[in-house]
Structure 1
Amino acid sequence: MYVDPPAPRPRQPGENPPSTSGGVLDSQPRAWEFNPEYQRLVTAWQSVLPLLESLTSSLDKAYQLARSPQTWDAPVGARYVEDLQEWRTRLSQYRQAVLTSISDEAADTPRWIPSAIGAPHAFS
């Protein structure tokens, strides 16, 4: 059993962009926008997680039914249970890989990026 990696955090109501740091251009106003690439990762996480949960619960239900003594009374039953266990393991590894790749990408993607709107331009 794996533990899911941290999910990318969606923008919270009232969340403000980062404040400007001390530098040469601090007198200039800086506009920030929530990074659309980060939002894409949040959306991907939110869309893939329910699908993975549905697959996991379906396989778990079939596995529990297959292990029941009322379901199988032949050697083929043991092979079927082993196959289902293998599919559960593969699904668990797949889930871990997908969620980890989204989480790692989100960790490397800034939540806020400078916006071109309101940026100072020469000759404007």
Structure 2
Amino acid sequence: GTAPPPGSSRRSSGMLGGMWAAPASGKEDSRKSVSNAVAPEAAPPDAKAAEVAVAAAAISDEEVERIREQLASLDEKIQTQAKNLTAVRSVLIEVHVNLPLHAVRASRIALRSTELSREERKLALSSLEAK
């Protein structure tokens, strides 16, 4: 708790006297005491406070709805990207698996290219492209 200012008693009856009086529980809650010490003219009228609370709730609901829509949109985009990534990954795996085979065939064709006729080269190239 907070100590009373010098020269004042714990049970003084001045303007802020309630702030220094010990509560019934024996524990002092300075936040509660300070809020009780606020002048009544500083608080907004009840109608104005209710209007502000309703407006704040409406803005809050609108913001929450906007954020939910953004999250739903992002979720759809992520799902689309995940599907695309799966397709790209499967193609990459296929290329990775078949690459050594293509390299070997290309090397054999390159080594034998002088022996092959024009027709045989075309047939070999079309065979590679088909696989």
- Normalised by the length of structure 1, the TM-score is 0.34
The structure with the greater share of residues assigned to helix is 2
- Normalised by the length of structure 2, the TM-score is 0.32
The structure with the greater share of residues assigned to strand is 1
